[in-house]
Structure 1
Amino acid sequence: MVEKIRPEDRECPLSATLGLVGDWWTLLILHDAFDGYTRYDQFQENLGVSSSLLAGRLKRLVEAGIFQRRPYQSKPVRYEYVLTELGRSLRPVIVALAAWGNARLAPETRSMVLVDAETGVEAEPVLVDRATGRRVDGPDFVFTAGPAASKPFRDRYAGRPAAVQAESGVHIT
């Protein structure tokens, strides 16, 4: 895959993340993995992707620690691709992207919806701060320079509150 991150953006977590998982095929592979697919042939059949493209994306995801490659058959040796804890932590990102897409469609035109597995009731995920339960998608939350920020990042976020280390974090509910 061609590197899309500008050298000056390498410290930006958004740029780095998009450089790893931000392309169409990678997101679809992850989506299939969250739906239970683990085998190369399953990914290929479901996505209709070329062998070389799929092999390249899976190799990159294994190298990044998002998938673990494990043999499931010895003669001939065949491998499955299982999400690691790091890979599973990407699920809220996929959920949020799908929800964002569905929010722009009329309900009768949605081809896939997120539902409560027990009740079948459609869910509407939102991003909230774990400590306060407040939504983080409004103007009350802003990005600021972190402790390892370079001068360009500190300059970009000058005038914003200084970051205070919290034990909380952000999660999807």
Structure 2
Amino acid sequence: MRRKSFSEMKCPVAQSLERVGEWWSILIMRDALRGLSRFDEFQKSLDIAPNILSRRLNDLVEHGLLEKRRYCDAPPRDEYVPTEIGRDFRSVILAMLAWGNRHFAPDGKAVVLMNTDTGEEADPILVDRVSGRPVSDPAFKTARGPAADETTPYSRS
């Protein structure tokens, strides 16, 4: 069964989901951003069927989040490394990590973000680059952007 395509929606959340909105894709990106690059590494880490992994890797390459690089010609073997777009997805993964630790870790945090300079655990939040204020502040609302149309969702109040 083919999932619904969001490619025609103007919403940036829908456009993002079009590229990584399948859970295997997000977990593959998590692993790629922590340094895994080879098919067998992803398969071992995720315990994923080879056909699904192959399809997800191809999708991530097609959408520009991973780059496929040949590391062996006989037999042909490729590695998958994050592109600039893929490396930019790290902030999404870290936001999910913080959210999961905050709300879904009844036995304690299994993975934390550490500041390598201080050795302290970090507690990431999303902030506005201009003001430095957390975007969770009620002063921030979504609004229609220049490319919006009448179907684009946004805050109304």
Q: Which residue is equivalent to 2:110?
A: 111
TM-score, normalised with respect to structure 2: 0.90
3-state DSSP class of the match of 2:110?
A: coil
Specify which structure has the bigger relative contact order, considering alpha-carbon pairs within 8 angstroms and separated by 6 or more residues.
2
* Runs of 4+ with deviation above 6 angstroms: none
In the TM superposition, 1:138-157 aligns within 5 A as 138-153=137-152, 157=154
1:153-168 correspondence to structure 2 within 5 Å: 153=152, 157=154
Partners in 1 of 2:27 and 2:150 — Cα distance? 36
Deviates more, 1:96-105 or 1:43-52: 96-105
CA contact 1:128–1:135 (8 Å) conserved in 2? yes
Whole-angstrom CA distance in 2 between matches of 1:19 and 1:138:
28
Tell me the percent identity.
43
Alpha-carbon separation, structure 2, partners of 1:150 and 1:105:
36
User: Equivalent residues in 2 for 1:12-161 (5 A)?
Assistant: 12-104=11-103, 109-153=108-152, 157=154
Match of 1:2 in 2: 2
How far apart, CA to CA, are the structure 1 residues paired with 2:14 and 2:38? 29
> In 2 relative to 1, CA 158–124 (structure 1 residues): closer, same or farther, beyond 3 Å?
closer
> What is the one-letter code of the residue matched to 2:133?
R
RMSD value, Cα: 2.1
Unaligned 5+ residue runs, structure 1?
Answer: 161-173
TM-score norm. by structure 1 comes to 0.82
SS at match of 2:120: coil
**Counterparts of 1:6 and 1:72 in 2: how far apart (Å)?**
34
Task: Please state whether the residue corresponding to 2:41 is helix, strand or coil.
Answer: helix
2:15 & 2:133 partners in 1: Cα distance? 26
Distance, in Å, in 2 between the alignment partners of 1:117 and 1:76 is 39
Read off the aligned partner of 1:2 and give its amino acid letter: R
How many Å separate the matches in 1 of 2:128 and 2:27?
Answer: 27
Amino acid at match of 2:76: V
> How far apart, CA to CA, are the structure 1 residues paired with 2:140 and 2:124?
18
**Aligned-partner Cα distance in 1 for 2:155–2:72:** 56
